Structure 1
Amino acid sequence: MASIDSASIGDLWDRVFGTQPAPDDWLVVVTAVVALAAVVPRPLWRLSRNAITIAHEGGHGLIALVTGRRLDGIRLHSDTSGLTVSRGRPTGPGMILTAAAGYTAPPLLGLGGAWLLSAHHITLLLWLTTALLLAMLVMIRNAYGALTVIVTGAAFLLISWLTGPDVQSAFAYTAVWFLLLGGVRPAFELQSKRRYGGAGDSDADQLGRLTHAPPAMWLFLFHAVSLSSLVGGGRWLLGL
């Protein structure tokens, strides 16, 4: 029994932390096109943006915990907006980093995912994503948010457990391309809203009040992070 258990644990370890075959170049390109198709058309973006909101609010929540703030809960709404509530000092580095983490989280997660895929750790990427979603689920405070996270996490778990290398590769590359490409659009949407006098309480405006720096500077930071992540992550995914 002990040898069987050891063998099973060893097989699981190899399956999760081992490497998988690199996909064909055409598959990498096709997954990029699929991800782009989920980001550019407005009707599809209204649906797919929910995944970016999960990463956005998850970024707020993770950095709040890392900086020593108390995370009260996360809410995800059907209009793709979200809210993360944390307690602690209303000013200072912890609050600044927490506020800055939202728009930067999706592209940085995409960049990290691209690094894992470039090292051929496809299954590990799927399992890490599932673990992060499970941890986030504990802090969700509304039914729609819980449903969204559960469905997303279940997709990653089922793909990683039930499918072969080819399907895992296609799913993982599509997801990472989506984070990289989808991480660019929200900053432009925020810029457009602010141009017409909307989003007065956006992350950029909150950061402006916290740091006494122009919100436009923080908006520039969001653009810089998302575009740099897209370029760097895209090069990794394409093997350049």
Structure 2
Amino acid sequence: MNVASITEMWDRLTGTQPDPSRWLIGATALLALAAVLVRGVWHVTRNAVTIAHEGGHGLLALLTGRRLEGIRLHSDTSGLTVSRGRPRGPGMVLTAAAGYTAPPLLGLAGAALLAAGHITALLWGATALLLVMLVMIRNAYGALTVVITGALFLLVSWLTKAQVQAAFAYLVVWFLLVGGARPVFELQSTRRRERSGTSDADQLARLTHTPAALWLLLFYAVAICSLIGGARWLLLQ
């Protein structure tokens, strides 16, 4: 790869793209809403939220100095991230809290990029994050899911026109913003029905000696505030 090619790639990454039409922004919002609310569709699309959820656990584990052992994604859309380190303390708390907060916060960050016109940066950044996550996947289904998702981002960013890239980017961000809230509702429902004590909220309650309901409230707050803030960026640009 010569200097001219590198310069061109850098210009594409750091440059801005034209804002899409209002109808495209609205249409992608409705599609994302359908992908979250329609039960049969959600069973498939929830895999993307699980990737973000477990990726959040893994990222905070690394940032807080824990040793990330691996990530597993399962066909029932559940996941598991294993890290080693102190069983208590701020690092463990932040790692446990990162799962349910990661999807909406990623959506909020994506909305900020789109509001600034950085569609290409969003697509390439997501591809890079998925590639890094792939290294830590420890089961075949998880690897397949991440490879397919990453390939989709890569193909859209390299082989499609600007309008298609914009539609895909807005759909992804809307989905993270809306889809980041539904797992919190599901968590509350599951805890009320099963009371297994194994959820992230229950783990955080034991780590911090606080009620699990307090952590549920935090998850709700992050999801709702991210949705409101992200929607304002996307709709009022």
Give the TM-score of the pair, scaled to structure 2.
Answer: 0.98
2:232 corresponds in structure 1 to: 235
| Count of residue pairs brought into register by the alignment | 237
Q: What's the secondary structure of 1:138's corresponding residue?
A: helix
Structure 1 unaligned residues grouped into runs of 5+: none
1:48 aligns with 2:45: yes
Q: Which of 96, 110, 117 does residue 120 from structure 1 map onto?
A: 117
List structure 1 segments (4+ residues) > 3 angstroms apart after TM superposition: none
Deviation of 1:62 after TM superposition, in Å, equals 0.2
Q: Indicate how the Cα distance of structure 1 residues 9 and 62 shifts in structure 2: closer, same or farther if over 3 A, else same.
A: same
Which amino acid in the other structure matches residue 192 of structure 1?
Answer: S
1:37 aligns with 2:34: yes
1:60 corresponds in structure 2 to: 57
2:179 corresponds in structure 1 to: 182
The 5 Å alignment of 1:1-240 reads: 5-239=2-236
Deviation of 1:146 after TM superposition, in Å, equals 0.1
Q: What's the secondary structure of 2:88's corresponding residue?
A: coil
Structure 2 unaligned residues grouped into runs of 5+: none
Q: Can you list the C-alpha shifts for 1:77-126, whole angstroms capped at 9, x where unaligned?
A: 00000000000000000000000000000000000000000000000000
- Work out the CA distance in 1 between the residues paired with 2:201 and 2:34: 28
Q: What's the secondary structure of 1:84's corresponding residue?
A: strand
- Work out the CA distance in 1 between the residues paired with 2:142 and 2:202: 25
Deviation of 1:13 after TM superposition, in Å, equals 1.1
Give the TM-score of the pair, scaled to structure 1.
Answer: 0.97
Deviation of 1:45 after TM superposition, in Å, equals 0.6
CA RMSD of aligned residues (A): 1.0
Q: What's the secondary structure of 1:74's corresponding residue?
A: strand
Q: What's the secondary structure of 1:213's corresponding residue?
A: coil
Q: What's the secondary structure of 1:13's corresponding residue?
A: helix
- Work out the CA distance in 1 between the residues paired with 2:178 and 2:94: 23
Identity %: 71
Which amino acid in the other structure matches residue 89 of structure 1?
Answer: R
Deviation of 1:198 after TM superposition, in Å, equals 3.6
Deviation of 1:199 after TM superposition, in Å, equals 4.5
